[in-house]
Amino acid sequence: MTRHGSPGMEVPTPMRENRGMQRNTRQRSAILEALSRQDDFRSAQQIHEQMRADGETVGLATVYRNLQALAQSDRLDVLVGDDGETRYRQCEATGHHHHLVCRECGRTVEFLAPELEAAMSRIAREQGYTDLDHTLEVFGLCTGCEAARAEATAR
């Protein structure tokens, strides 16, 4: 387990999933803990603010660094809003998946759609594109917000 001796020995695979995160720190634990209590996508600043409110003492730069590192190691999902602000969320699904986000309250549902993946791949390949990747997010009004809006309109 220890990596003593053996000159030229490379750090094995486990490191791959830990880019920029060799150590466990109080701050990182706190950030993950804060995220685990949220259901929607939050910006770094929102997360930081919430942590301060909860009595945690963490620097804003640290929050940014950790969110970024966690996202790179696929432990968080990222969503870049229309306003350019980056938001993060701890997801249930482990692999590739998409989101259905309420544009009013932020409530988020994860979904898989193999048909969509296949269709996109086909279209891209027909055009000669390779090494594919994509972004797909769906926005709408969840049942609760739809009801609230209907009521507001009715009066």
Partner DNA sequence: AACGACATGACAATCATTCTCACGAGCAGT
Partner DNA sequence: ACTGCTCGTGAGAATGATTGTCATGTCGTT
71 touches DNA by CB under 7 A: no
Which of 4, 16, 96, 122 touches DNA (CB under 7 A)? 4
Query: If you ran DSSP here, which 8-state letter would residue 62 be given?
Result: H
How far apart are alpha carbons 133 and 38 in whole angstroms? 28
How far apart are alpha carbons 137 and 91 in whole angstroms? 14
68 touches DNA by CB under 7 A: yes
Residue at token pair 């209907």: 150
Query: Closer CB to DNA, residue 3 or residue 122?
Result: 3
Write the binding mask 116 to 155 for DNA: x where contact by CB under 7 A, - elsewhere: ----------------------------------------
How far apart are alpha carbons 64 and 60 in whole angstroms? 6
- 100 contacts which partner out of a copy of itself, DNA, none, CB within 5 to 8 A by kind? a copy of itself
37 touches DNA by CB under 7 A: no
- The single-letter code of the amino acid at 124 is A
**How near is the Cβ of 101 to a copy of itself at its closest, in Å?**
9
| Token pair recorded at residue 100 | 């259905």
